[in-house]
Amino acid sequence: MATLELSGIRKSFGATKVLHGIDLTVPDGEMIVIVGASGCGKSTLLRIVAGLEAPTEGTVRIGGREVTALEPADRDIAMVFQNYALYPHMTVAQNMAYGLKIRGLPKAEIARRVGETAELLGISALLDRRPRQLSGGQRQRVAMGRAIVREPKLFLFDEPLSNLDAKLRVQMRAEIRRLQRRLGVTSLFVTHDQTEAMTLGDRLVVMHAGHAVQVATPMEVWARPADTYVAGFIGSPAMNFLEGTLTEGGRAVALRAGPVLHFTDGPRPGPEGRRLTIGIRPEHLVRDAETGLELSLDLVEPLGSETVLHGRLPGGEPLTAKLSGAVPAAGGSLRVAIPPAELHVFDAESGRRLDGLA
């Protein structure tokens, strides 16, 4: 087990800058999830940690040792890929043992590690099969087993669940988290799936356009997103954004949609009339038949215990609500209110979060 330290990591491919100075410290035994949309630089960052790409600038340290210039085989890491990368001509046992055999470990030690890991993963009955005889979930377990038997200082997961069906993804997600906690190995997990990110990570690194825009616990990222990108990316359905201007000495916002909302956690800085972006999560909107905003419904998505409503306010602004109970059909309308305590306030120009003084 070891810490991971990234300092000033930059990466360019020719004139194209992909990473813009990433600094990150991962304590011993922590599970960090790097999440972001396609093209944000998350996989490039993982490949730099693995030694599959060289940074243009910056250093990588694992367990206090600088490994920036070392080959992947010399970094004491293990990587699990989305395509499993199993040798088709080898059995499960041979696939799991191959890396240990290359390192010259005694046969008895190899057999012990493979047997214990297979038992841990519930694949002991599969050891004599070849990859083509396995399901997708079984192949993923074998790929994980191959990583575990090496007893590395660092686990790297590159979207390992993306090829699995929805039910199996949930099962494997729980299994990966259980195994990581049991083994206590420092881990980096890359995904574009926010549900995976929220459920797997001790902390999240939210990437956007080559920048680590927020590094925090999953609940902090959800409850206090650093900017409008994070706010719109984390959460399903996505957060609503409404335009407004600062008023009443920074103690309220006048929405373009009509109402004036008073902040419950202190005034915001800035002159009267400062342009703001107000965020409200769909699940925080409430019914208010008397004073609420009228929402004309374009689409109604029943989910069982809740219903997602997509509609527009009188001024044309789109708004999504997530409500329980009976709701009108598409083409109808209802009134919803915005609880001031649930507001997220961002600067309209920079998109950065504006917290109150309280």
348, 277 in Cβ contact below 8 A? yes
d(CA 128, CA 329): 56
CATH number at residue 280: 2.40.50.140
d(CA 184, CA 299): 46
Tens-digit pLDDT profile for residues 205-229: 999 999 999 999 999 999 999 999 9
185, part of any domain: yes
pLDDT grade for 83, boundaries at 50, 70 and 90: confident
Q: What is the pLDDT of residue 319?
A: 96
Residues 323 and 303 in one domain: yes
Q: What is the pLDDT of residue 326?
A: 83
pLDDT, average across residues 323-342: 90
d(CA 354, CA 274): 12
Residues 214 and 243 in one domain: no
pTM above 0.85, yes or no: yes
pLDDT grade for 166, boundaries at 50, 70 and 90: confident
> 267: which DSSP letter?
P
Tens-digit pLDDT profile for residues 13-24: 999 999 999 999
3-class state of residue 261 by DSSP = strand
Residues 298 and 268 in one domain: yes
What is the four-CA torsion angle of 352, 346, 42, 78, rounded to 10 degrees? Answer: 100
Residues 203 and 314 in one domain: no
Percent of the chain with pLDDT over 90: 72
Q: What is the pLDDT of residue 248?
A: 93
Residues 22 and 98 in one domain: yes
256, 275 in Cβ contact below 8 A? no
Residues 223 and 262 in one domain: no
Residues 287 and 181 in one domain: no
337, 212 in Cβ contact below 8 A? no
Residues 25 and 121 in one domain: yes
353, part of any domain: no
β-pairing verdict for 318-323 and 203-208: unpaired
pLDDT grade for 327, boundaries at 50, 70 and 90: confident
Note down the domain range covering 306.
237-347
Q: What is the pLDDT of residue 279?
A: 96
Q: What is the pLDDT of residue 356?
A: 76
Residue 172 or 209, more confident: 209
Q: What is the pLDDT of residue 358?
A: 41
User: How high does pLDDT run on average in the chain?
Assistant: 92
As beta bridge partners, residue 125 has: none
d(CA 241, CA 193): 22
Q: What is the pLDDT of residue 1?
A: 65
Q: What is the pLDDT of residue 307?
A: 94
Residues 192 and 280 in one domain: no
Tokens of 116: 């214990």
Q: Among the three residues 232, 248, 271, which one is the final residue of a domain in this structure?
A: 232
The most confident of the ranges 229-233, 254-258, 290-294 is 229-233
pLDDT, average across residues 56-76: 94
Residues 160 and 116 in one domain: yes
Number of domains in the chain: 2
114, part of any domain: yes
Kindly write down the DSSP assignment for every residue of 272-284, as one continuous string.
Answer: TT-EEEEEE-GGG
The answer, yes or no, to whether residue 105 has pLDDT greater than 50, is yes
Tens-digit pLDDT profile for residues 38-64: 899 999 999 999 999 999 999 999 999
pLDDT, average across residues 236-253: 94
The answer, yes or no, to whether residue 84 has pLDDT greater than 80, is no
pLDDT, average across residues 199-203: 95
CATH number at residue 214: 3.40.50.300
Q: What is the pLDDT of residue 357?
A: 56
